[in-house]
Each structure stands twice: as structure tokens, then as C-alpha cells.
Amino acid sequence: MDISLSNKRNGTQIKPTSIHGILWLQTHFESEHWESISNGQVILPRQDAEMLGGDAQNAGLNVNFINSLIQIDKI
């Protein structure tokens, strides 16, 4: 896997998991965001993240889409 996309309540977290993922993401974001991206601190709107993931897959990267689970306690 090169990039992990995890759905969160406020968007989709981007987390590079390989050097290929980091390098590819660097070609899509300005340098001022690279540190945050490499640390998994960036959240994009879900639709933008899906487009980014599709582009990455078309470029030959392995992208993992993770749907976060939320457990609701029963009363």
C-alpha cells in the first residue's frame, strides 16, 4: 500500500504509507503542506479524496480506502 484514505467525521484523512506515496503526493500539493501530509495530518473533503485516490491508482499506486467504524453504545 502506498496511500491510505480513511473516512472521518469531518472528511477523509490522507496518510502516505510508502516512499512512493509520499513522492506522488508531493507532486499534487505545495511544499508548505508536505510535512503535514507525511505525518497524516491532512483531511480533505470526501469527494476530493476519492478523486485523488483514483488519480493515484491510475498512476500505478496502491491506495487503500478505509471506512471508519463508529460504535454506538446501546442504552
Q: For residue 63, which of 73, 52, 72, 71 has the smallest C-alpha distance?
A: 52
* Predicted model pTM: 0.84
**pLDDT tens digits, residue range 19-67?**
999 999 999 999 999 999 999 999 999 999 999 999 999 999 999 998 8
The answer to whether residues 46 and 71 touch, using CB atoms and an 8 Å cutoff, is no
